[in-house]
Amino acid sequence: EVQLVESGGGLVKPGGSLRLSCAASGFTFSSYSMNWVRQAPGKGLEWVSSISSSSSYIYYADSVKGRFTISRDNAKNSLYLQMNSLRAEDTAVYYCARDWRYCSGGSCYTLTDYWGQGTLVTVSS
Amino acid sequence: EIVMTQSPATLSVSPGERATLSCRASQSVSSNLAWYQQKPGQAPRLLIYGASTRATGIPARFSGSGSGTEFTLTISSLQSEDFAVYYCQQYNNWPPKTFGQGTRLEIK
């Protein structure tokens, strides 16, 4: 069974930093790209960042570029998100999510299939 | 960036009836469209990918259709456990991976 367990959320002041972790189990972590997706209270889903299986490719949403850093440790089956210069608008539940690559009609695609339960980050003075 | 627009924002349907949810992309995403279900306090769950393929373990009452810019999620006979928020997401052209704003399906 695929399991993704986030940790590291909490209350932080504007301008502060926080590091989120995601522990993965039930699948070969090193073979999958991973993501962070967030959801502000009462709002919709917002993709934050993605990292390929070997960390060769990393992408960020414009809203976090230059402030957040995604990383992974395949030996520890873990995904991380270092968040610096936090703002009130970063307040959200942060989900760790797995990407699944499938092929159809001669082409291959990547979509997000499994999500963790999330960890709440609150940025407030 | 591809903008995804869902309608309606809220849909009120009685149990046992059919629900039809819509998702529109600002440019073609081919069939690279997924639907997710999210219940209060829970993580999203993948329902449909490739616009029309049910994910593992998803009941047959859930079906998806469409391609290009217009997509539909249909729930043929609503069960009590189906009342939730539904999101569409395109994965044809990213980053960024973009979601619709969601449709809340509520009991009438």
For CA atoms B66, B82, A25, A5, the dihedral sign is: positive
A112 chain-B contacts, CB cut-off 8 A: 34, 46, 89, 91, 97
Rounded percentage of chain B residues whose pLDDT exceeds 90: 95
DSSP designation for A36: E
State the pLDDT at residue A40.
97
pLDDT interval class at A58 (50, 70, 90)? very high
State yes or no: pLDDT of A114 exceeds 90. yes
Quickly tell me which residue has 């399991």 as its tokens: A3
Mean pLDDT of chain A: 96
| Residue B19 token pair | 């629900």
B50 chain-A contacts, CB cut-off 8 A: 102, 104, 109
From the list B50, B87, B99, the residue facing A104 with the nearest CB is B50
Q: How far is A36 from chain B (nearest CA, A)?
A: 11
Please give the Cα distance from A44 to A38 (Å, whole number): 8
pLDDT interval class at A33 (50, 70, 90)? very high
Which candidate, B43, B105, B46, places its Cα nearest to that of B74? B105
B43 chain-A contacts, CB cut-off 8 A: 95, 115-118
State yes or no: pLDDT of A85 exceeds 90. yes
What mean pLDDT do residues A42-65 have?
A: 96
Question: What is the per-residue pLDDT across B11-51, written as a single tens digit (0 to 9) for each?
Answer: 999 999 999 999 999 999 999 999 999 999 999 999 999 99
pLDDT interval class at B60 (50, 70, 90)? very high
Q: How far is A76 from chain B (nearest CA, A)?
A: 23
State the pLDDT at residue B42.
94
Q: Provide CB contacts within 8 A for A91, sequence distance 6+.
A: A40, A41, A121, A122, A123, A124
For CA atoms A45, A46, A48, A50, the dihedral sign is: positive
What mean pLDDT do residues B89-105 have?
A: 94
State the pLDDT at residue A41.
95
State the pLDDT at residue B101.
97
pLDDT interval class at A105 (50, 70, 90)? confident
What mean pLDDT do residues A8-13 have?
A: 97
Q: A45, B91: Cβ pair inside 8 Å?
A: no
Which candidate, A113, A87, A118, places its Cα nearest to that of A20? A118
State yes or no: pLDDT of B108 exceeds 90. no
Rounded percentage of chain A residues whose pLDDT exceeds 70: 100
State the pLDDT at residue A106.
87
